[in-house]
Amino acid sequence: MPRILLLGGTTEASQLAHALAAAGMDAVFSYAGRTEAPVAQPLPTRVGGFGGVAGLQAWLRDQRITHLVDATHPFAARMSQNAIAACAGIGLPLVALERPPWVPQAGDRWQSVPDIDAAVAALPETPARVFLAIGRQNLAPFAARPQHRYLLRLVDAAPDLPLPQATVMVARGPFTAEGDRALMEEHGITHVVAKNAGGSGAAAKLVAARALGLPVVLIDRPAMAARTTVASVAEVMDWIAAHPADLGV
Ligand code: NAP
């Protein structure tokens, strides 16, 4: 009988949790613990880091996990690298559920950049109104451009922001293109900064930027070591079926 660790924190992870629960599978859902009220899951849920590769390996052994599914956000690179290393070290099968990156369409004014620092450097010198849609981590580097007004959309209120001119909107996706267009118009947004997360719910800001003709600074995904990757919940279920539990720890 398989026993699965599902690393979550994304819409896709929640969808997979429902599929695993509906199939009566033995699985544990894991959150990092970044948000105050994480989405409730239909699986036994644990919260918090494992303590690096060694901590994860110990936890996997202790919990008699047979399969690991990494459905973290494409920018959660440390967790994903730890999962790859931990599974390689103990011979545990691993699959990543990862949505494909967004690709530009006609009308898009995207500038792709490799990382956060390059995104900061891509902003203009003259004061702009920036929709900084990158979550709460990695805001500090934008303090190097204090001439801009920043609109932040965060899951939880953030009292101590490293940016001098920031407006915070507390909201949780998925978002709509109409809603994001109205938000950008209301705040007079001139530039959008986003991570190339992929998926539909977070794409609304890009659709809205296209409609408004706004430039988008789009941060590329961090590099990742080789791993088996699928793009749908159904493919994860097939992958589990194709990897008998006795191959695990
Ligand atoms: P990260 O930098 O890759 O991870 C930092 C550390 O947090 C990991 O080494 C691990 O600690 C712990 N961790 C991360 N995800 C975990 C999980 N699902 N279960 C248990 N521990 C976890 O990750 P991050 O970018 O901070 O993302 C944290 C969470 O937010 C993830 O669940 C991710 O899916 C979600 N998220 C991230 C983004 C983003 O833009 N980065 C956006 C939306 C959602 P230990 O080393 O102690 O095990």
d(CA 135, CA 195): 9
CB 99 within 8 A of CB 75: no
CB 69 within 8 A of CB 16: yes
Which pLDDT value is given to residue 246?
64
Our mutation pick for probing the ligand 1 site, out of 35, 72, 156, counting the most ligand atoms within 8 A of Cβ, is 72
% of the chain with per-residue pLDDT over 70? 98
Each residue of 69-94: pLDDT tens digit? 999 999 999 999 999 999 999 999 99
* 154 is a domain residue: yes
* 177 is a domain residue: yes
Each residue of 193-241: pLDDT tens digit? 999 999 887 899 999 999 999 999 999 999 999 999 999 999 999 999 9
* 10 is a domain residue: yes
Q: Which residue has the tokens 């920031």?
A: 166
Which pLDDT value is given to residue 249?
45
User: 201 with 235, same domain?
Assistant: no
Identity (one letter) of the amino acid at 86? Answer: A
Give the pLDDT band (50/70/90) at residue 5: very high
Domain that holds residue 29: 3-99+223-242
* Helix, strand, coil tally for the chain in percent (to 5): 35, 20, 45
pLDDT at 247 over 60: no
User: 77 with 170, same domain?
Assistant: no
Domains held by the chain: number:
2
Q: Which atom of ligand 1 is nearest to the CA of 78?
A: 3
* 61 is a domain residue: yes
Q: Which residue has the tokens 């809205």?
A: 208
CB 44 within 8 A of CB 28: yes
User: 53 with 122, same domain?
Assistant: no
Q: Which atom of ligand 1 is nearest to the CA of 55?
A: 48
CB 217 within 8 A of CB 193: yes
* 93 is a domain residue: yes
* 208 is a domain residue: yes
- Please name which of 86, 85, 96 lies closest in space to residue 239, comparing C-alpha atoms: 96
* 82 is a domain residue: yes
